[in-house]
Amino acid sequence: MKLIRPNAMTPAMLTSSTATEAHATYSAGTTYAAGVRVVYATSIYQSLQAANLNKQPDTNPTWWTRIGPSNKWAMFDDQVGTPTTASASLTAVFSTGIMDSLAVVGIDAEMVTLTVRDGPGGTIVYQRSASVTGSEVADWSEYFFTDPTVRRTIAVFYDIPPFASSVATLEITSGGTVSLGMVTFGRIAVLGDSQFGAQAGITDYSRKETDEFGTTTFVKRAFAKRMTGSVQVQSLQINRVQRVLYDLRATPVLWIATDVPEFSEPMTVYGFYRDFYCAINAPTVSTYQLEIEGLI
- Examine the domain organization and report whether 241 and 142 are in the same domain: no
Q: Choose among 114, 69, 123: nearest CA to 94.
A: 114
Q: Say if CB 1 and CB 256 are below 8 A apart.
A: yes
- Examine the domain organization and report whether 11 and 157 are in the same domain: yes
- Examine the domain organization and report whether 201 and 275 are in the same domain: yes
* Residue pLDDT tens, the chain, 296 long: 999 999 999 999 999 999 999 999 999 999 999 999 999 999 999 999 999 999 999 999 999 999 999 999 999 998 899 999 999 999 999 999 999 999 999 999 999 999 999 999 999 999 999 988 755 545 555 445 555 555 788 999 999 999 999 999 999 999 889 999 999 999 999 999 999 999 999 999 999 999 999 999 999 998 999 999 999 999 999 999 999 999 999 999 999 999 888 888 999 999 999 999 999 989 999 999 999 999 98
SS3 102: strand
Q: What CATH number corresponds to the domain at position 211?
A: 2.40.30
3-state SS, 237-264, equals HHHHHHHHHHHCCCCCEEEECCCCHHHH
Q: What CATH number corresponds to the domain at position 32?
A: 2.10.10.20
Could you report the per-residue pLDDT of 279-294, keeping only the tens digit for each?
998 999 999 999 999 9
Measured between alpha carbons, how far is 167 from 189 in angstroms, rounded to an integer? 22
Q: Which residues pair with 96 in a beta bridge?
A: none
Answer whether residue 2 is part of any domain: no
- Examine the domain organization and report whether 230 and 214 are in the same domain: yes
SS3 113: strand
Q: Kind and range of the H or E element at 144?
A: helix 140-145
Domain boundaries, position 120:
7-15+76-186
pLDDT at 144: 52
Measured between alpha carbons, how far is 239 from 251 in angstroms, rounded to an integer? 19
- Examine the domain organization and report whether 108 and 65 are in the same domain: no
**Long-range residue pairs from 249-253, CB within 8 A, at least 24 positions apart, any chain:** 252/6, 252/78, 252/295, 253/3, 253/4, 253/5, 253/6, 253/184
What is the domain count for the chain? 3
- Examine the domain organization and report whether 197 and 290 are in the same domain: yes
